[in-house]
Chain A
Amino acid sequence: NAGVTQTPKFRILKIGQSMTLQCTQDMNHNYMYWYRQDPGMGLKLIYYSVGAGITDKGEVPNGYNVSRSTTEDFPLRLELAAPSQTSVYFCASSYPEDSASKQFFGPGTRLTVL
């Protein structure tokens, strides 16, 4: 199993450009998550999904959109990039058997908006 894969690893955007961060998992997990990590700030939840066709906002959803058409894929869309979206983005997945669900993280996408 590859686990959780993310592409691209690095990206530089100009203000106002759009892009999609890709995330795929091969563990048949129902739950998937997008986080952003800023220096000294831990991880903040952007959006999450409990299954195909179901998504919901997390703590910091503004400026982002998601879709979940399949169990495996959970892309994150930035429509009008802003410098405040410079961050490292992590995708994660889990199969919550109980409240102690274990999350598996991808390697991250480092995004810079200039």
Chain B
Amino acid sequence: TQLLEQSPQFLSIQEGENLTVYCNSSSVFSSLQWYRQEPGEGPVLLVTVVTGGEVKKLKRLTFQFGDARKDSSLHITAAQPGDTGLYLCAGVFKRSNYKLTFGKGTLLTVNP
């Protein structure tokens, strides 16, 4: 069983602060995705990273894929209340037939 660990599990910060969320595995990912989920809704894809060392930016969100493709991070600059939600990382492992393995998620609360 391939496991994917996310940390921290909970994060409560003030508006304007920066934060980083981590996603780690002992296995190599073919690709890794970050999703955001709001209460009562399904997850929505934010980004997909495929190449080791890859960095992608989405406005104030920066996503990084580790060189060895075993870990990833999501950094949010100047967090806003609208960033509140559950952030999920999900990895595609080799020979998994495109199945995603999800982490348990980081529940982020940004207080005004």
Partner-B contacts on A (CB < 8 A): 4, 31, 33, 35, 40-45, 48, 50, 58, 90, 92, 94, 96, 99-108
Contact = CB atoms under 8 A, between A and B. Distances in A.
Interface string B7-38: 00100000000000000000000110100000
Contacts of B92: 99-101
A114 to B, nearest CB: 21
Interface of B: 6, 9, 30-31, 33, 40-45, 48, 50, 88, 90, 92, 97-100, 102-105
B25 to A, nearest CB: 13
A4 B12 CA distance: 32
Contact of A42 (B40, B41, B97, B103): B103
Given A42-B105, A43-B88, A99 B42 contact: no
A90 B42 contact: yes
